Amino acid sequence: MLTIFLCIAISGCSAGRKPSTTPIETSTDPTDSSNYVRSNPAANSLDEAISETPFTDYTYDFKVYDDNYMITVTPDEKKTGLTLTLEDKDFKFSTFSVTPPDGYTVYLPYSQNDASTVCTVIRGTESENSLPDILKIDFYLSSMEDETKPYSVCRLYTVSGEKLKEFRVFDMQETSAENSSGEEIGFIPETNIFQSETGKFMADPKITVNEDGSLSVSVVTYTVDVFNTKINCRSEVCGRENPLYYGYAMYAVAGYIYQYFKDTSLNVSDYENYVEIPSADGNSSQYFFKVDDPRFSTVDELRNYVEKYFAPDIVDGMFLSAPQQYRDIDGSLYTIVGDGGHNESLGKCFITGMDEPVDADPPTITYHTKQEKFNDEHEMTGYIDGGDFTVQFIDNDQGFLITQYRYPNS
């Protein structure tokens, strides 16, 4: 776990060095976890969409290096699990049953029109050290009242020895010995995972607000061992010595704070009482609600907090353009409840490369990103430039300052 307020040690900087760019190696585009599937007429028929024909099956093209397969997914007889039928190039068939973990249920599409969503194929490539295609199956809690388990989990599968095999998952987070195998668990305790580098997946960083108001970030990765069909789950060290995951941690911190100036307001508990502020021309009004957050009681306290993480010019833009707006009223912090609009055509951002620290005073590191682009049917059509993200290392309580950033959903 990275505690953000700790100072970060700077090393390897000498006068006159120019920055160099380090690309991030992945076996495929980092987000190629969307379905690239063979056409199923029933799944794409307008008549079927209107009649809402119940889900029966879906077939995915599946490639393991030079070998091509097809995997057909159907509900089992009890409709609590799945039956997977594997067909090879010689038209030989084999079947495999998927039973959900205890307390979970498999996802079954509502209709045949949505049949392709039953599973996800993560595409491999033919490049050196690449992964084969991987089938991801998600499971969801049977009872929402069970708060001891994650809401959704997944399992990964591939073809090995002409058979469909499940990747066994080992939790290495608490192990210290290099030769330890860790504890085997029955699933990956996440569903929203993406490939961060060749042979390694990560979940979205998790942010914790500490008692003193500071932020902590943890990043968990899943390293795939294809030959032994196993996955090792580890907590990443998110420091300068591990720059890729340090970048993802810093990006998560930036988004966590910026969201309160774009996507949502700080917490409001009392929606019954508000303060109406008429506009200067008297033709309209703004409605402010009291913020329920023990960290902030005034605008100055909020601004001082944000300035610990962002450069002054970014902070100025956040407070000037925020649709929420924050104001001191009767000795308390108030906000307009609202958002700036979520851009549905944009998806997740991924780090594609990084520059070595520039020998400025103070030194910086710049990350290059790309972002998913979706069409009106919410199908991913490719990527756009996600912009550069720059972290400057300074002697403050955090040890860093974010000097360049674009909120990904704007």
Averages of pLDDT over each 10 residues, the chain, 410 residues: 40 42 60 38 43 88 92 92 93 93 92 93 74 94 83 94 93 68 89 91 93 90 94 90 92 94 91 89 88 95 95 93 87 86 84 78 88 85 92 80 88
Give the DSSP letter of residue 310.
B
Phi, psi (rounded to 5 degrees) for 21:
-95, 130
CB 121 within 8 A of CB 158: no
CB 256 within 8 A of CB 264: no
Confidence at residue 47, expressed as pLDDT on a 0 to 100 scale? 47
Confidence at residue 324, expressed as pLDDT on a 0 to 100 scale? 77
* Tokens linked to 388: 């550069």
Confidence at residue 398, expressed as pLDDT on a 0 to 100 scale? 73
What DSSP letter does each residue of 277-301 carry, written as one string? EE-TTSS-EEEEEE---TT-SSHHH
Confidence at residue 399, expressed as pLDDT on a 0 to 100 scale? 79
> d(Cα 63, Cα 122) in Å, to the nearest integer?
10
> d(Cα 74, Cα 91) in Å, to the nearest integer?
18
Q: pTM, whole model, 2 decimals?
A: 0.82
Q: 63: buried, middle or exposed (CB in 10 Å: 19+, 13-18, 0-12)?
A: middle
Confidence at residue 13, expressed as pLDDT on a 0 to 100 scale? 38
Q: Is the peptide bond before 362 cis (omega within 30 degrees of 0)?
A: yes
Phi, psi (rounded to 5 degrees) for 184:
-75, 130
* Tokens linked to 156: 């990964």
CB 106 within 8 A of CB 82: yes
> d(Cα 357, Cα 365) in Å, to the nearest integer?
5
> d(Cα 263, Cα 332) in Å, to the nearest integer?
22
Confidence at residue 36, expressed as pLDDT on a 0 to 100 scale? 33
Q: Say if strands 152-160 and 163-166 run parallel, antiparallel, or are unpaired.
A: antiparallel
CA atoms within 13 A on the CB side of 69: 28
H/E stretch holding 313 reads helix 312-321
CB 60 within 8 A of CB 71: yes
Confidence at residue 43, expressed as pLDDT on a 0 to 100 scale? 40
* Tokens linked to 354: 């990084």
Q: Can you name the residues that pair with 346 across neighbouring β-strands?
A: 373
> d(Cα 405, Cα 247) in Å, to the nearest integer?
12
* Tokens linked to 319: 């407070």
396 Cβ contact list (under 8 Å, min separation 6): 308
